[in-house]
Amino acid sequence: MPDTTVGAGMLSGAIRTQADIDVFERTPWQEKVPAQNTYELLCRACDRHRDKTALRFVMTGEPNAPEFTVNYASLRRA
């Protein structure tokens, strides 16, 4: 799923042309990443995507193996 965030240096959707790459690369990464550390980034994701899956763990990797999922709201409470 493409990121639809629009802001300084951010694109709406996929990068399709060299011009898109040039715009993306002109913006310092510090302006693209909305956090100063991994914990803050995860907290922001928890706030934005409460009901979406944050982690999915499959014990064996077999196609029909049971999976354990944690959504962002549960991750934030942990």
Say how many CA atoms lie within 13 Å of 20 toward its Cβ: 8
The predicted model scores a pTM of 0.53
So where are the chain's domains?
1-33, 36-77
Cβ atoms of residues 42 and 75 within 8 Å: yes
Q: What confidence tens digit (pLDDT) does each residue in 15-66 have? A: 899 998 998 899 888 888 878 888 898 888 999 999 999 999 998 888 889 9
The sign of the dihedral angle between the CA atoms of 53, 59, 60, 66 is negative
Q: Residue 13 — very low, low, confident or very high, per pLDDT cuts 50/70/90?
A: low
